[in-house]
Every structure is written in structure tokens, then in C-alpha cells.
Amino acid sequence: MGIDTQADDGLTTVRLDGRVALVTGAGSPDGIGYATARRLRQLGARVAIVSTTRRIHDRATELGATGFVADLTDEAEVGALADAVAEQLGDVEVLVNNAGLASRASPEVLRPVGQLTFDEWRSEIDRNLSTAFLCSRAFIAGMAERGWGRIVNLSATAGPVNALPTEAAYAAAKAGVIGLTRALAMEMVADGVTVNAVAPGTIYTAASTVTEIKQGLGTPIGRPGTPDEVAAAIAFLCSPAASYITGQMLVVDGGNSVREAQFR
């Protein structure tokens, strides 16, 4: 099993100096993926970012990272991405499976189960769950061989914690992310690789709807979260300091899932 890097004072460090990290779904400048990539760069990692469009190269320039374009629901493209990252940066040691949020080109399906088509169902599952499976599978052998690795999957409170009408496919996919996280954590634990999940609640981005912002204002903290607050949780789980944490889901929702009844 791999041994985590130690700080000079003997305390386990949060630094990722020299480690190669890949963050998926980082094309939006105000999204969780971008904020996570920025944090990992600040911790010393060599960062690769990927999204489905060429705007990822703008984000890479801003971050001092390396950008790649790929459809992560396509098995062949994920394989090509793994080869390209290895060639340009080296072996991936930290993987953040953030890809999954809807885009203008592929909007979230909001429809009751009785009206949901099978293609719409599969689209949500592929975008939110299959991407995490394919990317994890592409890199776990190398992590195990080196005896060190970190995988952090992005789930959501929708699915594992709660649910809303018309979001069955999304909720099922995000709940599936937790199942994948726990199973993979047990498979990789003897190889020095930890696998965890972060489940954000309402997070304010440029894509947030008025309804989502109002939901955020109704949390116990009284506001939506920020991408950087989610990124802070992700970055910790990516660090050597999180060496004794695996198979876990960290909820980042301002206490909303804890509250039994509305009190504001």
C-alpha cells in the first residue's frame, strides 16, 4: 500500500506537489469543476481539465492547466483521453469525476416517470453515472500499480438524500454514483487508493434558476453555496491528509438535509 507524503513537521500534508490531477466537466468559468481545478493547482498539482467543447482551452489558459475535449459517455473517447493525458502530463494520480451537469446542448430532462422516454432516461444515467464509471475504470489500474491514488465523484443531495418530482433519472444516477463510490472504494482499498463522493445541495452559479436561488435562501445557513465551497471539500478528499477516509459521501448543503422541518 502506498504511503502518503508527510510534511516536515510530521503532520500529513494537504499539498499535492507534482501529482497529476484530472478534473472532468470544467468548461464553465463559474462551475464546480473549474473551482476544483483552481484549488488543485494552488495545492501544487499538475492539472488536466476536460469538457465536451473547445471552451475548455480558454479555462486551461486561465488556470495554467492542460485542456482536453472529449465526450466522456463514449468509451473510445475516454480511452483516447487517458492516453493523451499520460503522454502530455504523466500518469493520473487524482481524478475528480465532476462531469454530469446539464448544458445548453444537452439540457436536463425534467419529466415525470410516466412520461419519461427510455432514451431520456439513458441520457441522464450516461451523463451522470456512466461518465464516472468510464473515467474511473480508465485510471484505477495505474493508481493501483503505483500504490497511491485519489478519486472523488460528484453526486448530489438529489438521489442519495432527497428527491424532487420530475427528476427521477437524475436522482437515480446520482444515487448510483454513491453505489459506485462505495463498491470501488472497497475494491481499491488495499492498493492505497481512496474513493469518496461529494454531494452538493443548492450551489449558486450563472446557470442557477430563480427557483434554485430561492431554495438556497431557504437553507439553515440562509444562502446557496458557492462552487469554491464545494471545491474545498473535494480538494481535501484529494489530499494526502484524507488518507483514512474512503467510501464516504460528504454532503455540502448548508445543513439543509439535517433539518427536519422548515423553521425560517
State the pLDDT at residue 160: 97
**pLDDT tens track for 196-229:** 999 999 999 878 888 888 989 999 999 999 999 9
- DSSP type of residue 115: G
| CATH at residue 56 | 3.40.50.720
Catalytic residues: 170
Assigned domain for 258 exists: no
Q: For 93, how many CA atoms within 13 A lie in the half-sphere containing its CB? A: 21
Q: How far apart are CA 180 and CA 44, in angstroms?
A: 28
Assigned domain for 134 exists: yes
Domains identified in the chain, total number: 1
Assigned domain for 38 exists: yes
Taking all residues of the chain, what is their mean pLDDT, rounded to a whole number?
93
> Cα 49 to chain center, whole Å?
12
Assigned domain for 8 exists: no
State the pLDDT at residue 9: 57
State the pLDDT at residue 102: 58
Confidence of residue 104 (pLDDT cuts 50, 70, 90): very low
**pLDDT tens track for 167-200:** 999 999 999 999 999 999 999 999 999 999 999 9
Assigned domain for 3 exists: no
Start-to-end CA distance of the chain, whole Å, equals 49
What single-letter amino acid sits at 169? Answer: A
State the pLDDT at residue 3: 41
Where is pLDDT greater, at 233 or 212?
Answer: 233
Assigned domain for 4 exists: no
Domain with 109 in it:
16-252
Q: How far apart are CA 196 and CA 246, in angstroms?
A: 5
Assigned domain for 259 exists: no
Confidence of residue 107 (pLDDT cuts 50, 70, 90): low
Q: Which of 6-15, 49-58, 130-139 has the lowest mean pLDDT?
A: 6-15
Which residue, among 173, 151, 134, has the nearest Cα to 247 in the 3D structure?
151
Mean per-residue pLDDT, 145-169: 96
Q: Which of 117-121, 161-165, 207-211 has the lowest mean pLDDT?
A: 207-211
State the pLDDT at residue 259: 87
Assigned domain for 133 exists: yes
The model carries a pTM of 0.93
State the pLDDT at residue 11: 66
Which residue, among 213, 219, 228, 227, has the nearest Cα to 253 in the 3D structure?
219
Task: Please determine, for residue 1, whether its predicted confidence score (pLDDT) is greater than 50.
Answer: no
